[in-house]
Amino acid sequence: MAGYHELFSGVWPASTIPFNDDGNVLFDAFADHCVWLVDSGCRGVVVNGSLGEYEALSASERRRVVENTVVATTSESEMAAVATRLEGSISNPAMRAGLDR
């Protein structure tokens, strides 16, 4: 396994999650944005923890954000970062979606 500095090198933006006017998460738009970030040179994406969306999302929405981020970015980059707040209910979907680092 790679060391901490090697694992978390490069740019890891905290990405905002888009919502529609009704307050629903635009999951496809967010996945597209994550792919764009990685294609633009970011090494990973940090979600669900630093920009306030975490408190506005239900547990199922948080899980879906994590799963979509991992699926959208792991084929494009070596790593995908998930939440800054990875509790058991969130990290297990991340692992199932393919985040193994």
Per DSSP, 89 falls in state H
pTM over 0.85: no
pLDDT tens for residues 8-62?
678 888 888 999 999 999 999 999 998 898 889 888 788 877 677 878 888 888 8
Q: Is the pLDDT of residue 73 over 50?
A: yes
Single-letter code of the amino acid located at 36? W
For tokens 């920009």, name the residue.
51
Whether the CA torsion 77, 83, 8, 16 is positive or negative: it is positive
pLDDT band per the 50, 70, 90 thresholds, residue 83 = very low
CB atoms within 10 A of CB 78: 13
